[in-house]
Structure 1
Amino acid sequence: MFKFRARRHLGASALACLVASASVSANQNDDPFWDISLEELGQIRVVSIASGSATPLDKAAAITSVISAEDIAAMGATNLDQVLETVPGLHVNHSDQLFTPRYVFRGITSNFNPQALLLINGVPVTTMMFGNRGNTWGGMPVKAIQRIEVIRGPGSALYGADAYAGVINITTKSAQDIDGVITGARAGSFDTQGAWVEAATDWNNTDISLVMEQQSTDGWRRSVNRDAQTNFDEDFGTSASLAPGPVNTAVDQFDARLEINGDRWDFRAGLQDRRNLGTGPGLAQALDPEGQYQSQRINMDYSYRWLEIVDGLDIESRISYFNFTQEPENDIVLFPPGAFNGAFPEGFLGSPGYKERQVRVDLNSIYSNVEDHRILSGIGAFWADLYDVSETKNFNTDFSPKGEVVDVSDDPDQVWMPEEDRKNYYAFVQDEWQFAQNWQLVSGLRYDYYADFGETVNPRAALIWATTDNLTTKLLYGRAFRAPSLNEQYAANNPVLVGNDDLDPETIDTLELALAYQATSRLYYGINVFYYEIDDLINAEPIAGPVATQYQNSGKRKGHGGELEMTYQLLDNLNLAANYAYQTAEDQDTNKSVGQAPNHQAYARTEWRVVPTWTLTTQVNYVGEQKRSAADSREPVDDYTTVDFTARTRGLWRGFDIAVAVRNAFNADVREPSPYSDPRPEIPGDFPMPGRFAYIEAQYQF
């Protein structure tokens, strides 16, 4: 018999629209549509991000992946990016802005990567400035992560702006996930050191958990042979460039997560602090070995549940606060001393920064007292304020020298960005209808109004058919949008690029067909194909006048592909997971490849429990060649294969455990595409990624 839903939503699966903390309970109902016990759910993988309530993974109303803390440990991953690279159809490469990671779903990307929405406990961590996680993201360590849920495809019908190409929801650990107190330390390549502590307690019927993690590294510091200044040296006959030289990838990280859970309420707070964050290849793609940024993300959210207000109706409210800062720690050298034929003997210096605060209020409900239906609905409001834009520089807006470094933060004719705000109001409704025993239709609609660019409506529909006891077939449609960033709307005082406050949001329509098959109790595989069309793509386009380019809605794209994934328990002590993804995308005006992402990806991982206390994991990741944009005449970025090994103990000796890992064990030369600029690329040899590196860690559980 086909069963879809849990009697109540699992607290571990936080959602953006249905409360970012422990869940709204759904009414018990004798109809088999709802009737799958928590005990049964504990034996299978469930996902909440797809439709708003805990659902067996194969019955989810989207193409989804779920990664547990146990999976993360088996991978030997120490950073979120290493985990996400194992998801089919998701590739992690890097922007030229401080090597900020870009989460590229199905080939959909741009320099700042606003097309991927990242949630932590259901709350977006998107900055309105660039529409991404912030250019000083600096990575995210993994010890506080309990699970990661990923939608590959649109999610705006539930999650609103920027749930465009994909959605990533990170659920952090609660008291139920931590047994007592755990402490640990790590040391590894690139002069990397780290330590963490996890603790939980129960006080006066209230669960309290705290996870803190610190890590510092000098970074991989691999060299680039030519940079942007090399091109200017050739034009002016100078030798100011610092290339060949290493990229600047050092960073100090400190993360803390506090969670307090009552019977019907939850409070969470988090801190992500980044110090001494290197500028990667340089903010202007000219090497800057000394430039450093600091950044802080502070978040808090509180939610409360009202259960059985009337028969079949549960409601939850949530208020959240997010504050983000990005500030230079020293003078940022855009071009080195002697740049521009000696006009800047101390270097071309420009140090932009900004601060942003956000408040979100959400009210959501689940109503299940209609036969064969479950109705999810919600309303909410969002306010973001860019409240402190700063800049010091030694050049004017026409690039002529000032003669000294000047603070222009309060000069509207000089500062790089005006202080702006954004307001958003939304409402959504979604109906889950089991119209026959083995059929379900999930349909939904979300309306968003933005005070700065207007309104948008995004529908979704998912037809789910339990074809047999072991096979599920899904046909999915969704529309999504990504809001123009404040930078794209209002960037000013730059002779190269200017904002445009008449921008419309980018939109994408996606159609997907998926099959999920549990062949045996040991073998599962799934396959899906997709097609999408993008409209109103935002690009920087040449314009007449004193400014070279302006952001405009000027592009259309279409793409298609497919993903295959499989898990297989070969032996009682040997498991295999593997996936493959293919995608291709082209510009609809030119019919040329979009490039900037791999067409082929493949991943495989084996977990071998050698003896009861030791597990050896081997993983192989293949990334196919990455084509260039139509204007870029360079050869494609070469494909590469990395191999990782991790040995980890569990219950080694009286609460003491160790792990040893080697990543990119065969020292593959990994390169990710650098952007093209007319008439020649600024870093033609692309961005070098880490070679072989290793670490050892130990932890003790009290």
Structure 2
Amino acid sequence: MIKKIICLSIPAIIFANPFNATLEDEASWLKEETFVISASRVKENVKKTSASVTIIDDDAINKMGANTLLDILRVVPGLGVSQSNIYTDKIAIRGIETWFSEKVLILLDGHSLNSDLLNGGATSTFANFPVEQIKRVEIIRGPASALYGENAFTALINIITKESQDINGVQISTKVGSYNTTATNLLLGKTYQNFDIAANINYRDTDGYSAYVANDVVGNSGYTNPTSKRLNTNLSLKHNNGIYVKANYNKTEDGPRYGVAHAINNEDKSKRESYFVELGNKYKISDDYTLDSRVYRDFFQFDNTWRVFPAGFPAPVFTNGMLGYSGVDNIKSGIEMLLTVKKENYTVVSGLSYEQQQIKHPWQKMNWNPLTGAPLASVQDFSDPSTNFVSE
């Protein structure tokens, strides 16, 4: 599938409220200021934004003892987090919940992590993003599609990572926890001549909580198997003239939890691999005009193994059980330009973006007919490399 998106945004105008106060009052007010970027794509005082905003910084993250992005989101008002049996973590906003959370736009330093392979969602890959490299998380509850386009229907979550001055050296940490959980993290931050460099490597391995199930969907008993291995690397390179490069690589392998059809097994496995590279420039034309431009390329791939039902079920035709294997690649590339005009009493943001998405190399193997569900004597290949998927 090739998906092309051209978006011309309608200028967003943000009016500033006049502020009259004594110098002493203003100094006190400034000390309490908290700024947000995601609400209007420009830096503004959170008290002046019209959006429903929650900001959680690294100090609050450390105090709450969070290990992943999901741990952070669990404390956000109006937001709920749950898990499904097909390796997806679901985010509910004000009662609206979908399997892949495709109505929630998740950004990493302003870069969209949502993928068409996940029905437009991002949580199954980045819900467990490590907290060690997070400077703050900005959560905007409510629609934000006028500024960010597709997926920002119910909420926007922007993960803002630490910069070189936040790290200022090398930081190495290791965590050990229950269920054979280990996590190792390396942070590097350095300013060298005209460049700011920030990098992070995080690896996490856990057996997960294994719960006993007395009676699953087919009447069997046993323990769940929610093993998980995750590798995440992040790189930011900035020049003081406004040019920057951002890159991220993520690899995940999850065990079966409690089975895609609620039938306990030790064979289900989901492997996901993704990366993105972004080159951009923040060019200050004048004190009032700023032009932000960027080009990017994203890659996402999954490889799944499903034992839908165990051997002998559904009886009597599936003597080896129901088996399925599938995989596909998603490539996304695009360009975006934003012009920001900031005057004393208002700010105007307008822009143009172009994006192309391709679904490539789809494959599937199974021991049942995908159209009728009828059993087959063995696992057969139903892949069709020439298949063209119609874009939405």
TM-score interval, smaller chain: 0.7 to 0.9
Instruction: Note if 1:304 corresponds to 2:281.
Output: yes
Q: 1:382 aligns to what SS in structure 2?
A: strand
Cα distance, 1:378 vs. partner? Answer: 0.8
Distance in 1 between residues matched to 2:381 and 2:202, nearest whole Å: 35
Cα distance, 1:336 vs. partner? Answer: 0.4
After superposition, the Cα gap between the structure-2 partners of 1:170 and 1:135, relative to the gap in structure 1 and judged at 3 Å, is: closer
Q: TM-score, normalised by structure 2?
A: 0.88
Q: 2:275 aligns to what SS in structure 1?
A: strand
Equivalent residue number for residue 405 of structure 1? 379
Distance in 2 between residues matched to 1:89 and 1:121, nearest whole Å: 23
In the TM superposition, what whole-angstrom CA distance separates every residue of 1:289-329 from its partner, at most 9, and x where no partner exists? Answer: 222121111011111122125x732111011221111113x
Equivalent residue number for residue 230 of structure 2? 253
Q: 2:218 aligns to what SS in structure 1?
A: helix
Instruction: Note if 1:375 corresponds to 2:348.
Output: yes
Q: 1:59 aligns to what SS in structure 2?
A: coil
Contact 2:107 2:157 in 1 (8 A): yes
Moved segments of 4+, more than 4 Å: 37-43, 134-138
Which runs of 5 or more residues in structure 1 are unaligned?
A: 1-16, 19-28, 231-242, 413-417, 423-451, 453-702
Contact 1:389 1:419 in 2 (8 A): no
Equivalent residue number for residue 544 of structure 1? none
Which runs of 5 or more residues in structure 2 are unaligned?
A: 1-7, 10-15, 21-25
Q: Which amino acid aligns with 2:112?
A: P
Q: Which amino acid aligns with 1:83?
A: I
* Equivalent of residue 389 in structure 2, options 399, 420, 425: 420
Equivalent residue number for residue 106 of structure 1? 94
Distance in 1 between residues matched to 2:60 and 2:390, nearest whole Å: 40
Give the share of equivalent positions with the same residue, in percent.
26
Equivalent residue number for residue 546 of structure 1? none
Aligned-CA RMSD value: 2.7
Equivalent residue number for residue 384 of structure 1? 357
Equivalent residue number for residue 272 of structure 1? 250
Cα distance, 1:32 vs. partner? Answer: 6.1
Distance in 2 between residues matched to 1:291 and 1:137, nearest whole Å: 20
Q: 2:116 aligns to what SS in structure 1?
A: coil
Contact 1:127 1:134 in 2 (8 A): no
Equivalent residue number for residue 190 of structure 2? 201
Equivalent residue number for residue 216 of structure 2? 227
After superposition, the Cα gap between the structure-2 partners of 1:346 and 1:158, relative to the gap in structure 1 and judged at 3 Å, is: same
Distance in 1 between residues matched to 2:176 and 2:298, nearest whole Å: 32
Equivalent residue number for residue 295 of structure 1? 272
Q: Which amino acid aligns with 2:46?
A: L
Q: How does 1:634-649 map to 2 (within 5 A)?
A: none
Q: 1:143 aligns to what SS in structure 2?
A: coil
Distance in 1 between residues matched to 2:361 and 2:189, nearest whole Å: 37
Distance in 1 between residues matched to 2:334 and 2:68, nearest whole Å: 28
Cα distance, 1:248 vs. partner? Answer: 2.5
Distance in 1 between residues matched to 2:237 and 2:183, nearest whole Å: 26
Cα distance, 1:419 vs. partner? Answer: 4.5
Higher relative contact order (CA 8 A, sep 6+): 2
After superposition, the Cα gap between the structure-2 partners of 1:105 and 1:391, relative to the gap in structure 1 and judged at 3 Å, is: same
Q: 1:341 aligns to what SS in structure 2?
A: coil
Q: Which amino acid aligns with 2:297?
A: Y
* Equivalent of residue 300 in structure 2, options 313, 324, 344: 324
Q: 1:342 aligns to what SS in structure 2?
A: coil
Cα distance, 1:411 vs. partner? Answer: 7.4
- The more displaced of 282-291 and 333-342 is 282-291
Count of residues in Structure 1 that have an aligned counterpart in Structure 2: 372
- The more displaced of 221-230 and 109-118 is 221-230
Distance in 1 between residues matched to 2:382 and 2:56, nearest whole Å: 46
Cα distance, 1:72 vs. partner? Answer: 0.8
Distance in 1 between residues matched to 2:329 and 2:153, nearest whole Å: 25
Distance in 1 between residues matched to 2:346 and 2:127, nearest whole Å: 44
Contact 1:383 1:421 in 2 (8 A): no
Distance in 2 between residues matched to 1:368 and 1:332, nearest whole Å: 53
Instruction: Note if 1:356 corresponds to 2:330.
Output: yes
After superposition, the Cα gap between the structure-2 partners of 1:225 and 1:381, relative to the gap in structure 1 and judged at 3 Å, is: farther
In the TM superposition, what whole-angstrom CA distance separates every residue of 1:559-602 from its partner, at most 9, and x where no partner exists? Answer: xxxxxxxxxxxxxxxxxxxxxxxxxxxxxxxxxxxxxxxxxxxx
Cα distance, 1:185 vs. partner? Answer: 0.6
In the TM superposition, what whole-angstrom CA distance separates every residue of 1:149-202 from its partner, at most 9, and x where no partner exists? Answer: 001111111111111111100011221210211111111101101111111112
Equivalent residue number for residue 121 of structure 2? 132
Cα distance, 1:134 vs. partner? Answer: 6.0
After superposition, the Cα gap between the structure-2 partners of 1:83 and 1:193, relative to the gap in structure 1 and judged at 3 Å, is: same
Q: 2:47 aligns to what SS in structure 1?
A: helix
In the TM superposition, what whole-angstrom CA distance separates every residue of 1:197-230 from its partner, at most 9, and x where no partner exists? Answer: 1111122310111111111001111133333334
Distance in 2 between residues matched to 1:152 and 1:134, nearest whole Å: 17
In the TM superposition, what whole-angstrom CA distance separates every residue of 1:45-94 from its partner, at most 9, and x where no partner exists? Answer: 21111112122222112000001111111111111111100000111011
Q: TM-score, normalised by structure 1?
A: 0.50
Distance in 2 between residues matched to 1:279 and 1:179, nearest whole Å: 40
Equivalent residue number for residue 333 of structure 1? 307
